[in-house]
Structure 1
Amino acid sequence: MSALLEAPAPSLELRQTQALASTLAPARAARRIVSGAQRAPLPSPARSASSAPSPSRSAGEDDASAEASRAARVLITAAVEVLLGLRAPNQLDRWTEPDLMDALMRRAGLAQRRSGEARRRGPVVRSVHTQPTANGDCEATVLLECGDRVRAAAARLIPRREKWVLASLEVI
């Protein structure tokens, strides 16, 4: 009879699949239609949903997310400066994967030959959004203001020896 009361533990594979599904497609709350009901007040701009701590996240996860966000801001800005010819590419050698570094070096050579005008101001970060992946990497999107243009950059950051390293970069 005791064998009937004990349920088998779910397999590790099932837990990983559920965690992956939850990060890819967040569940939506069901809508209820109630006649005559008043809407709840919207949150004030001073406290947005992104600044409020999530009850499911621990303090360690928030610290890791903040660290990934800071790394994304710095690394992507530096990479865009290299692409614009404002920074030497060898400054990113320790912070990028070898394949990406080769691509940045090629592109930086083109930018330095093309930019004969006076030095201009570097890119200004408008916003940074990071999302951890199931395998521990981090995907980041950054909006940058480069003079009179706004550019979007998407990157994948991977943890290497207690620091974030830029593995891939797409700039539009």
Structure 2
Amino acid sequence: MTTSAVRIDEYLDPAPSRFEPLVISFSTPHEYLAESAEARLARRAVRGGPQALPHPKAWAYTVLQATLESLTGFRPVTHLSRWVSPEVYDALARRAALAARVAEPTRAQRPAIRNVRASSVSKGRVDVIATILDGDRIRAVAIEMIVRRSRWIVTEIQIG
């Protein structure tokens, strides 16, 4: 390991100080380069880095809220593109366009999520059911999520 130390106090005025002089070490990046990519990813996963998935119930709540807002016109459907599969995105875009055509000129109250339950079906797959309050109606929602590229993706959504 090659290191070189620079003493900062050589460049400062010789004023009396009660602090110790600061020594900064510069090392070559050989230690970092010698570490394998797998070791770096494992260390990052332990710290809760990009490989750590959010809790499925909390994530489903967020996606469901964004979906309901996009279907009622409070949010563009394009915000959902990273969270849903292409098939689900196309279906939601069609439904949002239809809702925009038939909607009354005044905006309705936003739907409220009342309850969310998540159930792990298999490794990397979770089914979520939810109840929402839409005006004076209570509706049921079913969502299927899978893990794809270290993140949750909605592959199926049904709104009753």
Give the aligned partner of residue 73 of structure 1.
61
* Distance change in 2, residues 1:152/1:162 (3 Å): same
Deviation at 1:107?
1.0
Give the aligned partner of residue 89 of structure 1.
77
Tell me if the contact between 1:125 and 1:144 (Cα under 8 Å) persists in the aligned partners.
Answer: yes
Give the aligned partner of residue 160 of structure 1.
148
Structure 1 residues 145-154 or 118-127, which shifts more?
Answer: 118-127
- SS of aligned partner of 1:133: strand
* Identity %, equivalent residues: 32
- SS of aligned partner of 1:76: helix
Give the count of matched residue pairs: 109
- SS of aligned partner of 1:69: helix
Q: Is 1:107 aligned to residue 95 of structure 2?
A: yes
The structure that has the greater radius of gyration is 2
Counterpart of 2:97 in structure 1: which amino acid? Answer: G
* Distance change in 2, residues 1:146/1:65 (3 Å): farther
Counterpart of 1:146 in structure 2: which amino acid? Answer: D
* Distance change in 2, residues 1:142/1:66 (3 Å): farther
Residue of structure 1 aligned with 2:104, choices 90, 112, 116: 116
Tell me if the contact between 1:69 and 1:129 (Cα under 8 Å) persists in the aligned partners.
Answer: yes
Distance in structure 2 (CA, Å) of the matches to 1:71 and 1:114? 30
How far does the alpha carbon of each residue in 1:116-172 deviate from its partner, in whole angstroms, 9 at most, with x for none? 321222111111100011242100001111121111100101112332111100111
Tell me if the contact between 1:124 and 1:146 (Cα under 8 Å) persists in the aligned partners.
Answer: yes
Q: Is 1:133 aligned to residue 121 of structure 2?
A: yes
TM-score by length of 1: 0.58
Distance in structure 1 (CA, Å) of the matches to 2:95 and 2:88? 11
Counterpart of 1:116 in structure 2: which amino acid? Answer: E
Equivalences for residues 43-62 of structure 1 within 5 A: none
Q: Is 1:143 aligned to residue 149 of structure 2?
A: no
